[in-house]
Amino acid sequence: MPKLTACLWFDGQAEQAANFYVSVFKNSRITQISRFGEGGPGPAGSVMVVAFEVENQSFCALNGGPQYKFSEATSFQVPCDTQAEIDYYWTTLTDGGQPGPCGWLKDKFGVSWQVFPSALPSLLGGGGDPAKGKRVMQKMMSMQKIDVAALQNA
């Protein structure tokens, strides 16, 4: 069992969310579904917890109720090697969700993601040229979905 598992709290959407995430990312799978029994806080037989893995990272999707909501204070990063990867994850994760600034977005379940080029730290460093790093930062701040070519040309 992994040392850390991210637990995501949903209001009745745990199974739909887990199925969505394993469909978006390669090397992903549902590992277990647990259901409420008689006398539980949820209807007997309804999904309580879905355990799943995304790229060897363990997650737990819990149908905990309406008490808690997701916020941008917690997000998942998706570093991408190509513009095509950025385009895929951005389009797929924002479908039914909401785009945000600088590669951030919320998916249709309200979970926040950062979709960015894996080269972003070196681009922001400007290759030792602070003025270039500043231009890259300014360009990125004007974007929603990250355009790698535009950052490289900044």
The pLDDT, as a whole number, for residue 32 is 98
pTM over 0.85: yes
pLDDT tens, position by position, 55-113? 999 999 999 999 999 999 999 999 999 999 999 999 999 999 999 999 999 999 999 99
Q: Are 14 and 47 in contact (CB under 8 A)?
A: yes
Domains of the chain: 6-63 (3.30.720.100), 75-152 (3.10.180.10)
pLDDT tens, position by position, 104-133? 999 999 999 999 999 999 999 988 899 999
How far is 48 from 151, CA to CA, in rounded Å?
44
Q: Are 65 and 47 in contact (CB under 8 A)?
A: no
